[in-house]
């Protein structure tokens, strides 16, 4: 098997240094949530700076996520173009690339993926209602104005409720890209085992798969069409202090849609605390996870080990034969065999 030394491992390394070591045309699906370059937390960040509570809430007197800098998008594009080129190389023809982003920088991310050679097939929307409002009031600036206090008060009343153009963000975009197929989709699927979508997957109340999903109950209409299972407290792990842990159901949904082969390999080049790998393992797929933070690598390995520690409840299942009225009909003695196969682990 290709990449045998890396298969089903979480590796502590710099993604741009490790990706070139992975064999070309060997990965089925890539799912990742890269750093978004918000508030100077770019590819030059260090983990102590990111973990610092001060940086999580205030950077240069502005709440995290509020600082607007046109250059951050350009830097993100340049860096992610290099990442995307490597991902393009290692994906099989027809392989899928799902990349989470922020609404503000999605266009830069999608452009980098597109320019690396991918086809942007669609975009998913992760919908939610709970998030922090980013807009900032202007009272602080009015107070500093060198004008009469009465005039300040008039300005304050006139502009009451008007804030900086940053509303509460209630969705997260996910780019869905695909490496061009080898000839037809059918030919590609038969040759590489990837390239088509599994429309047997269901979402909400047994609905056809959609590019919108949510993990929180919002209302009857949305829940029926787009609801995925809500995360459990045990899912993340009490020991997991990662700030942006993705719900397991989302990663499982994307893998079910896109990974066909039994031995499919799911790669996450920014694995964080391991949700993509946990989802792949639960679904019987192979995985490769990469992260530069040794602390998160250890958390990811611990979460994966928890899956091994769980008892196989399926083996304990007892099948009771239905009661029959043997006097109501005659039959010949035959050996009945119930087909039964163990699930992948």
DSSP 139-193: HHHHHHSSS-HHHHHHHHHHTTT---S-PPP-EEEEEEEEPPPSSSHHHHHHHHS
Q: Is the pLDDT of residue 56 over 80?
A: no
pLDDT, residue 188, reads: 97
The residue-averaged pLDDT of 271-290 equals: 95
DSSP 152-163: HHHHHHHTTT--
Verify that 179 and 141 share a domain, yes or no: no
pLDDT, residue 333, reads: 38
Quick check: 236 and 245 in contact, CB under 8 A? Answer: yes
Q: Which of 111, 145, 166 is the last residue of a domain?
A: 166
The residue-averaged pLDDT of 187-210 equals: 97
Residue 20 within a domain: yes
Neighbour count for residue 55 (Cβ, 10 Å): 16
What is the rounded average pLDDT for all residues in the chain?
Answer: 83
Verify that 151 and 239 share a domain, yes or no: no
- The model carries a pTM of 0.81
| CATH number of the domain within which 302 lies | 3.40.50.150
Strand partners, 305: none
User: How far lies 122's CA from each of 104, 177, 181, in Å?
Assistant: 18, 7, 16
Strands 62-63 and 58-59: antiparallel
Q: What is the pLDDT of residues 155-197, one digit of tens each?
A: 999 999 999 888 888 999 999 999 999 999 999 999 999 999 9
Verify that 199 and 262 share a domain, yes or no: yes
End-to-end CA distance of the chain: 18
The residue-averaged pLDDT of 129-134 equals: 82
Torsion of CA 22, 247, 220, 218, to 10 degrees: -120
Looking at beta carbons, which pairs linking 144-147 to residues 24 or more positions away fall under 8 Å? none
The residue-averaged pLDDT of 56-61 equals: 40
Show the domain range for 143. Answer: 135-166
Verify that 99 and 162 share a domain, yes or no: no
pLDDT, residue 233, reads: 74
Verify that 106 and 244 share a domain, yes or no: yes
Distance CA 25, CA 192 (A): 9
Distance CA 197, CA 259 (A): 8
Q: What is the pLDDT of residues 216-268, one digit of tens each?
A: 999 999 999 999 998 877 877 767 767 777 889 999 999 999 999 999 999 99
Number of domains in the chain: 2
Confidence of residue 41 (pLDDT cuts 50, 70, 90): very low
Residue 333 within a domain: no
pLDDT, residue 308, reads: 83
Residue 344 within a domain: no
pLDDT, residue 235, reads: 76
Verify that 178 and 197 share a domain, yes or no: yes
Question: Whose CA is closest to 173, among 108, 127, 215?
Answer: 127
Tell how many helices (H) and how many strands (E) occur in the chain.
13, 10
Distance CA 320, CA 186 (A): 42
Strands lying side by side in the sheet with 171-178: 9-12, 286-291, 265-268, 27-32, 91-100, 171-178, 119-127, 212-213
Q: What is the pLDDT of residues 303-324, one digit of tens each?
A: 999 888 764 433 333 334 344 4
Residues in the chain: 345
pLDDT, residue 282, reads: 96
pLDDT, residue 166, reads: 83
Confidence of residue 40 (pLDDT cuts 50, 70, 90): very low
Q: Is the pLDDT of residue 325 over 80?
A: no
Verify that 300 and 239 share a domain, yes or no: yes
Verify that 105 and 118 share a domain, yes or no: yes
The residue-averaged pLDDT of 14-41 equals: 87
Distance CA 88, CA 97 (A): 9
Distance CA 271, CA 253 (A): 17
Verify that 13 and 139 share a domain, yes or no: no
Alpha-helical regions (H) of 242-293: 248-258, 275-282
Confidence of residue 273 (pLDDT cuts 50, 70, 90): confident
Verify that 123 and 152 share a domain, yes or no: no
Verify that 80 and 179 share a domain, yes or no: yes
Q: What is the pLDDT of residues 61-112, one digit of tens each?
A: 444 555 667 888 899 999 999 999 999 999 999 999 999 999 989 999 999 9
Verify that 95 and 158 share a domain, yes or no: no
The residue-averaged pLDDT of 201-206 equals: 96
Residue 323 within a domain: no
């Amino acid at each position: 098997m290709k990449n045998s030394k890396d298969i089903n491992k979480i590796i502590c390394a710099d993604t741009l240094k490790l990706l070139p070591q992975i064999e070309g045309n060997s990965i089925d699906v890539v799912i990742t949530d890269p750093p978004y370059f918000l508030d100077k937390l770019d590819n030059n960040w260090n983990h102590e700076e990111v973990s610092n509570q001060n940086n999580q809430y205030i950077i240069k007197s502005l709440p995290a996520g509020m600082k607007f800098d046109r250059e951050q998008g350009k830097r993100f594009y340049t860096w992610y173009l290099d990442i995307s080129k490597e991902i393009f190389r290692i994906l099989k023809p027809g392989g899928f690339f799902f990349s989470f982003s922020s609404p503000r920088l999605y266009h830069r991310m999608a452009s980098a993926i597109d320019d690396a050679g991918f086809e942007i097939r669609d975009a998913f929307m992760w919908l939610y209602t709970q998030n922090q409002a980013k807009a900032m009031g202007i009272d602080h600036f009015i107070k500093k104005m060198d004008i009469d206090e009465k005039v300040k008060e008039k300005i304050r009343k006139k502009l009451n409720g008007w804030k900086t153009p940053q509303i509460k963000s209630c969705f997260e975009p996910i780019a869905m890209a695909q490496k061009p197929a080898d000839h037809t989709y059918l030919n590609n699927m038969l040759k590489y085992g990837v390239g088509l979508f599994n429309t047997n997957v269901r979402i909400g109340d047994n609905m056809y798969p959609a590019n919108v999903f949510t993990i929180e109950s919002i209302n009857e209409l949305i829940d029926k069409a787009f609801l995925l299972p809500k995360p459990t407290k045990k899912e993340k792990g009490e020991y997991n202090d990662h700030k942006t842990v993705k719900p397991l159901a989302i990663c499982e949904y994307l893998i079910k849609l896109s990974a066909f082969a039994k031995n499919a390999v799911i790669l996450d080049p920014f694995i964080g605390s391991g949700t993509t790998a946990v989802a792949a393992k639960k679904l019987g797929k192979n995985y490769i996870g990469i992260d530069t933070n040794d602390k998160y690598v250890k958390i990811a390995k611990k979460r994966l080990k928890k899956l091994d520690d769980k008892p196989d409840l399926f083996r304990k299942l007892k099948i009771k034969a239905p009661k029959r009225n043997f006097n109501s009909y005659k039959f010949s003695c035959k050996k009945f065999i119930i087909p039964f196969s163990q699930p992948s682990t």
